[in-house]
């Protein structure tokens, strides 16, 4: 089945220790998104790629970076995690570049704990 896969599902890191979350997709979609979701809150878009074109949301902290080496994979790097970065991180994809209308397909998420 075509799907969006996130690894690891649970990640524990120490305050200030860099961490990388990964996402892969077998849907061959052009667009990949990274969301941050804190408990009982709506997903918050951090950035998205249309193919290799990177689009950063204005309020995404510089501490968050992303890489998309090819169509299938996308990585979220948190350079110096703080306690406030503990959250669920969701990866999503869509076929075309219309975030306002396209169905987004989500992975199961990575829950990040910062000690």
Partner 1 sequence: AQSVTQPDIHITVSEGASLELRCNYSYGATPYLFWYVQSPGQGLQLLLKYFSGDTLVQGIKGFEAEFKRSQSSFNLRKPSVHWSDAAEYFCAVGADSNYQLIWGAGTKLIIKP
62, 69, 83, 103: which one binds partner 1 (CB under 8 A): 103
Taking CA atoms, 75 is separated from 18, 39, 41, 78, 100, in Å, by: 13, 22, 23, 10, 23
Stretch that binds partner 1, among 11-19, 59-67, 71-79, 106-114 (CB under 8 A): 106-114
Which of 4, 21, 74, 87 touches partner 1 (CB under 8 A)?
Answer: 4
User: How many Cβ atoms from other residues are within 10 Å of residue 63's Cβ?
Assistant: 14
Residue with smaller CB distance to partner 1, 73 or 88: 88
CB of 47 to partner 1, least distance (A): 13
Q: How far apart are the first and last CA of the chain?
A: 36
Number of residues located near partner 1, criterion CB under 8 A? 22
Contact footprint for partner 1 (CB under 8 A): 4, 6, 40-43, 45, 90, 92, 97-101, 103-109, 111
């Amino acid at each position: 089945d075509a799907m969006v896969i996130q690894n690891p599902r649970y990640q524990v890191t120490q305050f200030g220790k860099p961490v990388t979350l990964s996402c892969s997709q077998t849907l061959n979609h052009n667009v990949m998104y990274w969301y941050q979701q804190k408990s009982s809150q709506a997903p918050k878009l951090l950035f998205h790629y249309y193919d290799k074109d990177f689009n950063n949301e204005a309020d995404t902290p510089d501490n968050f970076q992303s890489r998309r080496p090819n169509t299938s994979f996308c990585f979220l790097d948190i350079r110096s995690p703080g306690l406030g970065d503990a959250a669920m991180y969701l990866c999503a994809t869509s076929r075309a570049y219309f975030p306002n209308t396209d169905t987004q397909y989500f992975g199961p998420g990575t829950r990040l704990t910062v000690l």
